């Protein structure tokens, strides 16, 4: 399969998670491609109107192997939605995360039709929590033998990932004219003071010891005019945590330390899988055989994937990924030969099991 034209179409449709119309366009592109190759498909629609595509080698919601990758991407400048190829590398938003991986799912369905029981979920809001994948799980999509999420580190199998707490710190006061600051409790000052207290007391994971809780401010909002002290100042904070039992205590700690209003926007639980499951061990053996030059380990991910929504199912789960870099940056890329080689490896693995 020449995956380049398909991947270029997906990139150009600008499937940013918030833009449901364009995300649905990406689904339509993949759906049309699979139908042209005589793949069984169903399209589900989530309550918010976004589509989710399921393709399979046979008409069942419970194939032996269930694959997953997402078609939505994070925002980017216009030039990043114009794919370009330099040698074996394709650059563009979605190449590495995760539309390049999605072409693997399509290729495997075509190769394995009539040879193996395989299904694939193409989700559409992984970057905002993966509610579309959760919707599919609730509606009976599962696997008998293994679930493979292709959205991870290259040349590794991830068997754990951190949970997420998305929250806002909000400082509320009563603003007024900036010429008399002594008349007001400036909410921007209140917000800064509260955040500094939090930063000073937070035990942050490090480059050397990454498997720990992290805290990062991501968005600041305050004010409307240069000569006006605002009534409200807000900072969005992204927490990554490793123990489910710590979630409530983390939120309570933030409230106590900052003295600010804390608004929870979303919580995703950590994910853990058993690396000793025979089918996961078989996947590892196949990868090591395919890449003898690589030291392929089991790893734990700082990021999160749709694997968190499959954790409630009984099938073993593994998270893998192709060779890529610069995800969520202006220099996102994927190695095209890596996509081809991963497809070959997964075809071999699926046929063997």
Q: Does 269 score more than 90 pLDDT?
A: no
Q: What is the structure's pLDDT at 268?
A: 87
Residues 221 and 333 in one domain: no
Give the total number of structural domains in the chain.
2
Task: Look over the chain and give the mean of its residue pLDDT values, rounded to a whole number.
Answer: 96
Q: Could you tell me the CATH number of the domain that includes residue 181?
A: 3.30.70.360
Q: Using an 8 Å Cβ cutoff, are 249 and 156 in contact?
A: no
Final residue in a domain of this structure, among 200, 234, 268? 268
- Residues 188-203 have pLDDT tens digits of 999 999 999 999 999 9
Q: Domain check: are 93 and 227 in the same one?
A: no
CB neighbour class for 253 (10 Å; exposed up to 12, middle 13-18, buried from 19) = middle
CA dihedral 323, 144, 274, 322 (to 10 degrees): 0
Q: Do 136 and 172 fall within a single domain?
A: no
Q: What is the pLDDT of residues 114-167, one digit of tens each?
A: 999 999 999 999 998 899 999 999 999 999 999 999 999 999 999 999 999 999
Is residue 91 located within the same domain as residue 144?
yes
Residues 6 or more apart from 46 whose CB is under 8 A from it? Answer: 52, 124, 125, 131, 132, 135
Does 213 share its domain with 145?
Answer: no
- pTM, two decimal places: 0.89
Domain co-membership, 245 together with 291: no
Residue that finishes a domain, picked among 219, 244, 268: 268
| Same domain assignment for residues 189 and 154 | no
Question: Do residue 116 and residue 183 come from a single domain?
Answer: no
Q: Do 33 and 126 reside in the same domain of the chain?
A: yes
CA 17-22-27 angle, to 5 degrees, is 90
Domain-terminating residue out of 268, 288, 320: 268
The answer on 323 and 176 residing in a single domain is: no
pLDDT in tens, 283-313: 999 999 999 999 999 999 998 899 999 988 9
On whether both 208 and 337 belong to a single domain, the answer is no
- If asked whether residues 132 and 59 sit together in one domain, one would say yes
Which structural domain range is residue 35 located in?
3-161+270-352
Cβ neighbourhood burial of 341 (10 Å; 0-12, 13-18, 19+): middle
């Amino acid at each position: 399969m020449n995956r380049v034209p398909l991947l270029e179409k997906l990139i150009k449709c600008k499937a940013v998670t918030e833009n449901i119309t364009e995300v649905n366009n990406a689904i339509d592109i993949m759906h049309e491609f699979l139908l042209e190759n005589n793949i069984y498909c169903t399209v589900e629609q989530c309550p918010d109107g976004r589509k989710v595509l399921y393709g399979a080698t046979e008409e069942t919601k419970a194939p032996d192997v269930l694959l997953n990758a997402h078609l939505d991407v994070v925002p980017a400048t216009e030039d990043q939605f114009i794919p370009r190829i330099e040698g074996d590398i394709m650059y563009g938003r979605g190449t590495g995360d995760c539309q390049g991986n999605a072409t693997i799912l399509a290729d495997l369905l075509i190769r394995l039709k009539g040879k193996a029981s395989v299904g694939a979920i193409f989700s559409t809001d992984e970057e905002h929590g993966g509610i579309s994948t959760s919707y599919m799980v609730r509606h009976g999509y599962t696997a008998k033998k293994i679930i493979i999420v292709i959205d991870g580190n290259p040349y590794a199998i991830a068997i754990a990932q951190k949970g997420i707490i998305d929250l806002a710190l909000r400082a509320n006061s009563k603003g007024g004219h900036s010429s008399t600051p002594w008349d007001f409790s400036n909410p921007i000052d209140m917000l800064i003071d509260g955040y500094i207290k939090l930063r000073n007391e937070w035990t942050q994971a490090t480059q050397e010891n990454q498997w720990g809780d992290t805290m990062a401010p991501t968005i600041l909002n305050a004010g409307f005019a240069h000569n006006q002290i605002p009534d409200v100042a807000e900072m969005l904070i992204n927490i990554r945590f490793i123990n489910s039992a710590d979630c409530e205590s983390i939120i309570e700690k933030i409230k106590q330390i900052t003295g600010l209003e804390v608004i929870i926007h979303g919580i995703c639980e950590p994910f853990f899988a058993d690396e000793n499951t025979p089918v996961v061990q078989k996947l590892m053996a196949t990868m090591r055989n395919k890449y003898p030059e690589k030291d392929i380990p089991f790893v734990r991910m700082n990021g999160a994937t749709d694997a968190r929504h499959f954790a409630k199912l009984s099938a073993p789960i593994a998270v893998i990924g192709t060779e890529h870099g610069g995800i969520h940056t202006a220099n996102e890329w994927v190695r095209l030969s890596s996509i081809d080689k991963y497809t070959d490896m997964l075809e071999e693995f699926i046929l063997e099991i």
